[in-house]
Structure 1
């Protein structure tokens, strides 16, 4: 049986839930499809030990309803996954969203029909949807790189990817545990399981700059204080550079060396991402400034590690990359873990992992590290990966995967030329692909999509698609902005370099959250300039 609806939403995370609510409010027939057994998105899938916010809890919230915001109280500044998942259930139940979501169902194929301007969508559970609009709320970090090493299926113990950590958890007590990867996720795992495991071997390829987290508990007084900031936060968050409550306040050239050091010390002591997102913006453009701030962070890390061998493995070197050009993790006593007798850091930069063998991890030089459990914190195919793993077919036989295999291009990170009535959130070339407090950016994107669909209905239009010229203009602007930064010169998942063969481009819009919002609004105010609206199905043919 085919379900004929106005809009189908893929995913029931932060974006998908709000998008479902908004389109229902427009009076549309809308349905959500979610691969997980419940809501939560990234907070459903990422339930590994230590998973938690590194955005402050009181800003990682929906801001469209004051009562919804104030009726939930967080227990601390940076809560852990179970509490975050409970919050998402609270939102879902308050808005009565579950009745319009099919769970444990994965969209496998979506084909645009040029004859009537609609999408035919199939799932792995046999459901078929005939929908006018297809909206991908699949998440920017939701396509885990699970098959990274030869021989994974031969391992005699347990092997898991952090992005698919089992709900029931793993028994790690007294076990020989290997952790592959020390990005933000790996760091949270390592610092959390260290007191439990028998031994832990951490395989380190790329050292990370880290910042210590300060995570005070919230009682009634603290909760009352942050809730009293509702007007300030709703006004401020959408306009800052990264969608956090703070913004860059200082100019490097206007400060003396002593003032710079004092500012860095003060912000470092804040125990948040403020050093990265609200100290000196020049660190993203000026190599000399980048190096001075990087050296400051290196000194802080070295003072805690003390051991020259550990410093060599775990602290980035001057020639590696600059602070802030990779994702910056927050941590709690992470570095101190390596001072334990049962923890070993193994550099795999010059001596990489060759394969997984039945006994454990085998390095290129033949060394085998015997293990009972392997936890792979090896990352995701960011931005484009989740949607590209679905067989999405647009006009003239174009496939989304095929287009993105050639070049990572979108219009505003909201639509793709050649794929009418396909909207996206958390996709490449928008701040939500990486550089944003996610709730800030995902709310903005879903609201833009809702307003766009409402405008189409007012105009009697049935189909919308970016023009070739509109997409070219956005990609050009995106690249000019991104290529002025040191991020573009650094190999990381921010540029797709963690996925072999992925076209290189800075995945996230680097012009700032407030600027992006203003540009999106300007395009809407100009009648969706750079997009073509029409009745179905007549539209201009895409270029060959």
Structure 2
């Protein structure tokens, strides 16, 4: 992305350190008025919210943080110069995607690391390693084909899916396929069989294979049990990947604390206190995630037709047509937001698809001498129903305690936000809308 910005001289059009406070639509002029924190007002015909789906870091409201004498950080707001924890006592709160990547590195530096875990997650080996020159040459030789395949694939990348169903093969074949996917690493396990996210029996076979890996790797049976995910389907909470994550708990300088059985009560001047013990630390790291999907947009005071705010419109969950255009907010577009593949995709692929689609619509308006595009309420409602219908065919609604539903943010409505129908399927639906003269939009 740095390469693209430099190659196409994009930085001249980018303002950094500019916090947007509000965006208001002027119906008479069909223009947006965007106000920044330093008082500048920008007038624009179109407003595109490319604010990121995982960009609003959440620090939990734990009493006493202001009294802590040490240093504290959030993984999503990490200092560019880095953090040196050599020889220090460190607490990491959270074992989700950020935590599983951070914890092994901290353990190598810290005098002692205490991990505070509420919910154990499935963590695949990342299998990161130096690029082999031969592999690099092969990939670059096939870039066009690989990218074409990724654009129409289920998840927007080149990971091949096994078309077989898990229970159609023998136990030995299932185990061999799971082992292959474990060795490939990353998120390949989700594609081990075609029905992993649909059939609870197939899903449990996969989950139990990974639980067996945890028991193999972690030497202390009690610690292994604490790290073993239960109570939700494999892949229905954000699947994690890390390097040496489970192995880290075999180190003498690492302690795992289960805060589901002993919740954190407060942060003290010298550390943390749970209902059972006091832990003195020098550094606290919050790996506690984000106000996902909608948080970055709702931090801006956005008002559309008739003065309606986006906060009001989304009070019961995000609503938009194709996940790209909320009805009642003309010429306002969203990149990779709720109601689109978004976090169920190779994000750059889906961002490119949205940018191309939005830019083409804007160009089409200009060619026709039009100035305004607005999604209709009917089209928006039909899309919301489709998003929910597709989700109901999967195991995701059976495990709603995840940030896919906003469950990690106090007060947030519980609504399944991503589109799980697939990147290729979504692209085709969006292209069909454009081919049918932007069906579902009022152009004027």
In the alignment, is residue 267 of structure 1 matched against residue 181 of structure 2? yes
SS at match of 1:282: coil
Match of residue 256 from structure 1: 170
Match of residue 442 from structure 1: 351
Match of residue 422 from structure 2: 512
SS at match of 1:378: coil
1:55-454 alignment, distance < 5 Å? 88-252=1-165, 253-276=167-190, 278-317=191-230, 320-363=231-274, 365=275, 367-432=277-342, 434-454=343-363
Q: How many matched pairs?
A: 442
CA contact under 8 A between 2:100 and 2:123: conserved in structure 1? no
Cα 1:514/1:467, change in 2 over 3 Å: same
Q: Return the offset for 1:144.
A: 0.9
Give a deviation string over 1:18-74, Cα, whole Å, max 9, x none.
xxxxxxxxxxxxxxxxxxxxxxxxxxxxxxxxxxxxxxxxxxxxxxxxxxxxxxxxx
CA contact under 8 A between 2:262 and 2:276: conserved in structure 1? no
Higher relative contact order (CA 8 A, sep 6+): 2
Give a deviation string over 1:378-417, Cα, whole Å, max 9, x none.
0001111101111111112211122222222121110111
Give a deviation string over 1:169-218, Cα, whole Å, max 9, x none.
22211111000001110111101111110111000000011111222312
Q: Return the offset for 1:283.
A: 1.7
Q: Return the offset for 1:92.
A: 1.4
Q: Return the offset for 1:147.
A: 4.5
Between stretches 212-221 and 138-147, larger displacement belongs to: 212-221
Q: How far apart in 1 are the matches of 2:428 and 2:217?
A: 43
Q: How far apart in 2 are the matches of 1:134 and 1:361?
A: 44
CA contact under 8 A between 1:384 and 1:404: conserved in structure 2? no
SS at match of 1:215: coil
Q: How far apart in 1 are the matches of 2:101 and 2:404?
A: 20
Q: How far apart in 2 are the matches of 1:359 and 1:382?
A: 31
Match of residue 521 from structure 1: 431
Give a deviation string over 1:122-155, Cα, whole Å, max 9, x none.
1112221000000011111001113432222111
Match of residue 405 from structure 2: 495
CA contact under 8 A between 2:49 and 2:332: conserved in structure 1? yes
SS at match of 2:103: helix
Q: How far apart in 2 are the matches of 1:337 and 1:215?
A: 17
Q: How far apart in 1 are the matches of 2:57 and 2:48?
A: 21
Between stretches 217-226 and 388-397, larger displacement belongs to: 217-226
1:472-487 alignment, distance < 5 Å? 472-487=381-396
SS at match of 2:162: coil
Match of residue 471 from structure 1: 380
Give the alignment partner of residue 366 of structure 2, picking from 447, 457, 481: 457
TM-score normalised over the length of structure 2? 0.97
Between stretches 400-409 and 109-118, larger displacement belongs to: 400-409
Q: How far apart in 2 are the matches of 1:427 and 1:152?
A: 32
Cα 1:194/1:218, change in 2 over 3 Å: same
SS at match of 1:401: helix
Q: How far apart in 1 are the matches of 2:2 and 2:239?
A: 29
Between stretches 102-111 and 348-357, larger displacement belongs to: 348-357
Give a deviation string over 1:500-532, Cα, whole Å, max 9, x none.
121112111000111000000011100111111
CA contact under 8 A between 1:488 and 1:505: conserved in structure 2? no
CA contact under 8 A between 1:178 and 1:374: conserved in structure 2? yes
SS at match of 2:196: helix
Q: Return the offset for 1:333.
A: 1.0
TM-score normalised over the length of structure 1? 0.79
Q: How far apart in 2 are the matches of 1:383 and 1:206?
A: 21
Cα 1:247/1:508, change in 2 over 3 Å: farther
Cα 1:147/1:349, change in 2 over 3 Å: closer
Give a deviation string over 1:415-454, Cα, whole Å, max 9, x none.
111111111112111101x101111111111111011111
SS at match of 1:338: helix
TM superposition outliers: structure 1 runs of 4+ over 6 Å = none
